[in-house]
Structure 1
Amino acid sequence: MKTELLRGKDFITLQEWDREEIDTLLDVSFDLKRKFAMGIDTPYLEYKTAMLMFFEESTRTRNSMEAGLAQLGGHANFLDTSTMQVSHGEVAKDTATILSSYSHAIACRNCFWEIGNDYLRNMAENSSAPILNLQCDLYHPMQGLADLMTIQEKKGETKELNVSIIWSYATSHKKPISVPLTQALLFPRYSMNVTLAHPEGFELPDWVIEQAKENAEKNNGTFKVTDDMEEAYKEADIVIPKNWGSWVNHPDGGEDLLEANKDWKCTEEVMDLAADDVMYMHALPADRGNEVEDSVIDGPHSVVYGEAENRLHTAKAVMTVTMGGK
C-alpha cells in the first residue's frame, strides 16, 4: 500500500479506513512503541503543529496527543472551546477553515449527542488539514485502535477470540456510546467472536448492530447480542465491562433504568465464568466500586494500564501517518 495516500486522510471513524490501512497504523504503533522503549528519537513531524479542540474534559486523550506530538518533534495547541469564539456561536466551517490554515491537523473531541459527529464532518468539509476524531457522540477511533493494539500485543492471533463488550452500572457521569460502538464495529473485522451484552434500554442503534453483523460475516467472525450478563462472561477470552448512557432515553438519561440495573457489575464471581486467562479491559476512567471491583481492575487479569499506555503509541501513529510527508 502506498502510505502517502494516507497523508491528509481524515480519521473520524475506523469504518472509513480499510483493513490494510488499519494494519499500517498498527505496524507504525508497534514500531513507535519499540523506539520509545529504547530511547530512540522519532522526529517524524518536526515543526508540525496540531490544534486540539476539546468540548469536554480529558486525561488520556489530551496527554497522549500533546506528549505524542512533542515526541514526534512537533507542537500541539490545546484549545478549550469554552475560551474560543465557538462559545459565542462561531460555526464549524469558519473555525476549521482558519485553524487548518495555521496547522497540519485539527483534532477535536465533541461528544454532544446528535451534534459531535456532524460537527467533525462539517469541519472536514472545510479544512485543508486532516480532521482527527478524539471522541464524538458516535465514535472513538483513537480508543478503538489502542484496544486492538493491546489485544494483538497480549493475545497474538485475534481470530476466534471470544470478546464480550458488557454494559456495567456507573454513577460517575453520563458516558457516550462511542467506545462500545467503535469496538462492536471494529473487532468483528479482525475475525473475533463478539458478544454485546446489556440490559433492556441500553441498546446500541440498529444500524450499528446491522453493520457489526455484516463486518463479522465478511471477516469470518461472529456477532451476537444478549441481555444475559453471565452468558457474556462464560468462556470469554476478553471482557470489556463498561458503562454507557441510554441514547434510547435521551435526553432524560434514563436514571430509573440505570438504578434498576445495579447488579450489572464486574466482580470476581463473574470473572470466574470466563476463560482461565481472561483479559479485563477498560478505556478508563473506571467507576470503581460500581462498574468493577477493585480486586478485578487491580488484579492479574487486568491490562488497563498497558491499554492506556498504548493510547500514546497509537495516537503518535495516527499523527505520523496522516500529518507526515514532505
Structure 2
Amino acid sequence: MTRHFLRDDALSPAEQAQVLDLAAAYKTDRYGYSPLAHRAVAVIFEKQSLRTRSSFEVGIAQLGGQPLIIDARGTHFGRGETVADAARVLSRYVDAIVIRTFGDDRLAELAAASSVPVVNALTDGFHPCQLLADLQTIRERRGTLAGTTVTYLGDGANNMAHSFLLAGATAGMHVRIAGPDGYRPDPAVLAEATRIAAGTGGSTAVLGDPKQAVDGADVLVTDTWTSMGQEDDGKDRITPFLPYQVNAELLAASADGAFALHCLPAHRGEEITDEVLDDPAGAIFDEAENRLHAQKALLAWLLDDAVQSGASAPTGTAPGTTAPAGTAPGAGAPTSSAPGGAAPASEASVNPVRGA
C-alpha cells in the first residue's frame, strides 16, 4: 500500500522513532547511504520557501536521487488542469511527490490520485516535516522525547501548533499550547492529540497565561504571528500576542536548561527576541539544519521497503543523541512520562491519513 505523510499522526510511535533513528544516522554520515539511487522526487511549491526547498533539494541529491523542483506558478498545476490529473501524470514520472501548498483539502486531493508517496512539506493546517526536525533537535539535547514538556506560545491555531500537538503526543510528550482567546487549536486536532497521548503517556493542555504555560517546561516553541497569506487580513497580529513573546524572562521562568525553538523565518523583536534567537548555546539553527537530516530519513523510510522493515536501516546515532527511553531503535512506543499539563476533554477525533 502506498504510504503518504500528510499529517504528523500518519506515523505510529514506533515508526516515528524509526524515522528519527534514521535521521540521526544520516546526520552522522551525510553521504554514506544511497536509498534513492535511480529515483526521482518531485518537489512542488505553491508557497514560497527557502529552508524547505534547500533542504529537500540537497537531501534528495545526498541520498542518490534526482530532485525535480517545480514552481507551480510556472506550470498548469491546479490551473486549467485538476490537481488529481496532475498527480496521475507525475506518478508516472517520479517515485514520490513533495508539496508545499495552502489548503489541506488540496493536499488530500493530490494524495488520493497519486500512486506514489505524497509528503506534506507545509500546509495551512500542518507542518509535519518541520516537526520531525524539531523532535530530532529535542532528542539531541535531552536524550529522550518521552516525558518532555513542550510549550508552544503564540497563535495556537496555526500549523506548527497543530503539528506539535500530534507529533508530541505520538512521542509521549506533554504538549501545552498558550495563546490569546480566538487563537486556539482546532478542537478536532486537539481531541485527536489527546487520544494519542492517552496511549503514549503524554498529555495535552491549552492555556491562556504564558507564565503558567512555561512553568516547568523543557522547551519553548514559537512561530511567526502572521503566517503566509494572513498579511492583509486586517487583524491586529501584534498586540494580542505580546505577552507570549519568547524572551529571556519566559525562559528564566521555565525549567532549568530550557531552550527555545523557532521554525524560521523569524520576525525579530516580535514573537522572539534577538537575545534568544542569537544565543550561541541555542538550538534554533541546529533545528534548521535538522530539516535536512529528518527529511532524508522520511523519504528513505517511505521509499525503501528494506529501510522501513529495518532490514537495511543505518545504525548509530549522531553525537550526543540516544534513542527515546524505553525504546529500541526503530521499535516500540515511548513508555516513560513526567508530570505535565492536564488533558482537556476530548471532542470529535480525526483519523490519520495512512494511504491513497
Q: Provide the TM-score with structure 1 as the length reference.
A: 0.87
Deviation track 1:101-150 (CA, whole Å, cap 9, x = no partner) reads 01101111112xxxx21112111121121111111121111111111111
Contact 1:137–1:176 at 8 Å: present in 2 too?
Answer: no
- Residue pairs, 1:131-280, within 5 angstroms: 131-167=118-154, 177-244=158-225, 253=233, 255-256=235-236, 258-280=238-260
Shift of 1:176: 7.8
Query: Structure 1: where are the runs of 5+ without partners?
Result: 169-174
- In structure 2, the residue matched to 1:119 is 106
- In structure 2, the residue matched to 1:288 is 268
The answer to whether structure 1 residue 85 and structure 2 residue 69 are counterparts is no
- In structure 2, the residue matched to 1:26 is 20
Identity, in percent, stands at 31
The answer to whether structure 1 residue 322 and structure 2 residue 302 are counterparts is yes
> 1:277 is aligned with what amino acid?
G
Shift of 1:244: 4.6
In structure 2, C-alpha distance between the alignment counterparts of 1:43 and 1:144, rounded to whole Å: 24
Shift of 1:226: 0.7
Contact 2:128–2:163 at 8 Å: present in 1 too?
Answer: yes
In structure 2, C-alpha distance between the alignment counterparts of 1:67 and 1:213, rounded to whole Å: 36
Query: Per residue, is there more helix in 1 or in 2?
Result: 1
The answer to whether structure 1 residue 298 and structure 2 residue 285 are counterparts is no
Shift of 1:325: 4.9
- In structure 1, the residue matched to 2:312 is none
Deviation track 1:296-319 (CA, whole Å, cap 9, x = no partner) reads 111155201111111101111111
Q: 1:58 to 1:229 in 2, by over 3 A?
A: same
State the structure with bigger RCO (CA 8 A, min sep 6), 1 or 2: 2
Contact 2:225–2:237 at 8 Å: present in 1 too?
Answer: no
> 2:111 is aligned with what amino acid?
A
Q: Matched residue of 1:261: which SS?
A: helix
Q: 1:87 to 1:185 in 2, by over 3 A?
A: closer
Shift of 1:35: 1.1
Q: Provide the TM-score with structure 2 as the length reference.
A: 0.80
Deviation track 1:280-311 (CA, whole Å, cap 9, x = no partner) reads 11111111111111111111552011111111
Q: Matched residue of 1:313: which SS?
A: helix
Deviation track 1:227-278 (CA, whole Å, cap 9, x = no partner) reads 11111222211100223559xxx89746136434334312212221112200
Between 1:10-19 and 1:93-102, the stretch displaced more is 10-19
Between 1:44-53 and 1:212-221, the stretch displaced more is 212-221
- In structure 1, the residue matched to 2:29 is 35
| Counterpart among 7, 13, 37 of residue 13 in structure 1 | 7
In structure 1, C-alpha distance between the alignment counterparts of 2:168 and 2:134, rounded to whole Å: 9
When the two chains are superposed, the root-mean-square deviation of aligned CA atoms in Å is: 2.3
Contact 1:42–1:72 at 8 Å: present in 2 too?
Answer: yes
What number of residue pairs does the alignment pair up? 305
Query: Structure 2: where are the runs of 5+ without partners?
Result: 307-356
Contact 1:280–1:301 at 8 Å: present in 2 too?
Answer: no
